[in-house]
């Protein structure tokens, strides 16, 4: 898949070429009326729209505070009847349910054939095999190296 993509990309690059303008020439750029980009009050020119710089509009007359009791809606009346009604149709004469008892059937059991078993009274003791221990030997001290006379 990677090979396919790489080969397709190489073919696309090989076929690519500069765009040839049509008989009418290249597409002209239509210049519209200049309008600055709205970037905030620091760069806005005054000829387009005014900026409200003053304080917010506030009514001079304060409103009265309502100190009266809070209006509480009356509670919704709960329905006196049940939302779900269960109807049980029971016939009193046939209230006993007969459950069939399982009937025993003969079972075929495979006969177990005993294999001969070797019974050992006690295991034969074998002596523990202990190898020869390898004791550490101190390494001889290396001889001091003497530098050549030129370096001393």
Structure-token pair, residue 4: 């396919």
Residues 78-126: tens digit of each pLDDT: 777 777 888 877 766 666 677 788 888 888 888 888 888 888 888 777 8
Single pTM value for the model: 0.16
| Tokens 């009356």, residue located | 74
Say how many CA atoms lie within 13 Å of 10 toward its Cβ: 6
Residues 50-81: tens digit of each pLDDT: 666 666 666 677 777 777 787 788 888 877 77
Phi/psi of residue 3, each to 5°? -60, -40
SS3 130: coil
């Amino acid at each position: 898949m990677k090979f396919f993509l790489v080969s397709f990309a190489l073919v696309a690059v090989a076929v690519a070429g500069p765009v040839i303008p049509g008989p009418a020439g290249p597409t002209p750029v239509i210049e519209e009326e200049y309008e600055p980009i709205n970037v905030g009050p620091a760069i806005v020119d005054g000829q387009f729209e005014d900026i409200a710089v003053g304080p917010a509009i506030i009514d001079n007359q304060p409103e009265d505070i309502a100190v009266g009791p809070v209006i509480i809606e009356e509670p919704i009346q709960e329905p006196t009847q049940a939302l779900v009604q269960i109807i049980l149709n029971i016939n009193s004469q046939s209230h006993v349910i007969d459950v069939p008892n399982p009937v025993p059937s003969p079972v075929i059991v495979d006969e177990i054939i005993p294999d001969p078993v070797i019974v050992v009274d006690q295991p034969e003791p074998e002596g523990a095999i202990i190898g020869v221990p390898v004791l550490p030997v101190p390494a001889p001290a290396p001889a001091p190296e003497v530098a050549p006379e030129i370096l001393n």
